[in-house]
Amino acid sequence: MNTAAKKGVLLVNLGTPDAPSRGAVYRYLKEFLLDGRVIDVNPVLRNILVRGIIAPFRSGASAKLYQELWTEDGSPLKIFGEVLRDKLKEKMGDTHEIVLAMRYQEPSIAAGIAELMKEQVTEIIVVPLFPQYASATTGSVHQEVMRILSKEQIIPSLKFINSYPTHPKLIEAFVARAQQYDIADYDHILFSYHGLPKRQLRKADTCNHCFQVENCCETWSISNQHCYSAQCYATTHAIAAALNLDKNHYSVCFQSRLGRDPWLEPYTSDVLKQRRELGDNKILVFCPAFVADCLETTIEISVEYAEEFEEMGGEHLQLVEGLNDHPLWIDTVEALIHEA
């Protein structure tokens, strides 16, 4: 056997439209929302909702937001993914073949796997770029990888990274981002995570633990080790401890609701209102579910929530930028690959 054979690494983020146009956003929303792990309802109802209501009606408004987000080089999420891939290639040399894929749209997981198979890699390490596990993100990535590889005659060894919400290097990277700001200058700090319907957490609960007691997610344990919300709190507590934050100086909240079903609470908009009523004028916001800045951070937090807070009479809301191309984030992913 050739001892110089490479290991394969498949970096996977959620995805992005190919362009900030209504048509491209429609295609992206349709593929994304038709995933049964994202909208986990009856397939017939899901098709009606997505094809008949959500994608047609949301694509126009979302396209305008993507136009605000877009840069000369394209979508920031994809750009930072390419930088991560290239930096890892530089650091890891000829021992690893590293490709970037998106769960939805391009570059696809199928294309990424085909590239790795062409290089005759000895194994594939799948690295979802989501620190906290959720069925709708990491679970969907893993399912798609298995679906594609199930068609192959030769299936290489596979290693799936499930989650890394408190990985020391990840926390170090978030802390480094925060230290660009004078934290003492802010009245309160929000840790805002992408929300999920509560039913999805209940479906994933195998220990009859979910929402059985008040604040059940605030302690990460064996019973809720794979719970998205519990992992979000674990990430928050780890960052807060590293920054020596008093527990009264920060809050956890959830953004990006879709539909009328109950989602994880408290909602970011509600917490902002509460903090303003308590007299807070300056708010600093982390988004530790997102490793790269995207629509949910650059636009939803930095523009929409910032305007909302100022309309309430607040002075300033500041986003802590994502890990993006920070050297400590590159080191984090390198460590995850080696540990796998």
Look at domain 168-319 and name its CATH class: alpha beta
Q: What is the 3-state secondary structure (H, E, C) of 303-331?
A: HHHHHHHHHCCCCEEEECCCCCCCHHHHH
pTM over 0.85, yes/no: yes
Write out pLDDT tens, residues 202-216.
888 887 777 777 778
Domain ranges of the chain: 7-164+327-339, 168-319
Under 8 Å between Cβ of 140 and 101: no
Between CA 288 and CA 168 the distance in angstroms is: 14
Write out pLDDT tens, residues 45-61.
999 999 999 999 999 99
Q: What is the dihedral of CA 163, 166, 167, 170, to 10 degrees?
A: 100
What is the identity of the amino acid at 127? V
Using a 10 angstrom Cβ sphere, with 0-12 exposed, 13-18 middle and 19 or more buried, the burial of residue 152 is exposed
3-state helix, strand, coil in the chain (%, to 5): 50, 15, 35
Q: What is the 3-state secondary structure (H, E, C) of 39-97?
A: CCCCHHHHHHHHHHHHHHHHHHHHHHHHHHHCECCECHHHHHHHHHHHHHHHHHHHHEE
Residue 260, pLDDT score: 82
Does 3.90.220.20 match the CATH number of domain 7-164+327-339?
no
Percentage of the chain lying above the pLDDT 70 cut: 99
| pLDDT tens sequence for the chain (340 residues) | 455 689 999 999 999 999 999 999 999 999 999 999 999 999 999 999 999 999 999 999 999 999 999 999 999 999 999 999 999 999 999 999 999 999 999 999 999 999 999 999 999 999 999 999 999 999 999 999 999 999 999 999 999 999 999 999 999 999 999 999 999 999 999 999 999 999 998 888 887 777 777 778 888 888 889 999 999 999 999 999 999 999 999 999 999 988 788 999 999 999 999 999 999 999 999 999 999 999 999 999 999 999 999 999 999 999 999 999 999 999 999 999 999 9
**Cβ neighbours for 268, distance < 8 A, ≥ 6 positions apart:** 190, 192, 253, 254, 255, 301, 305
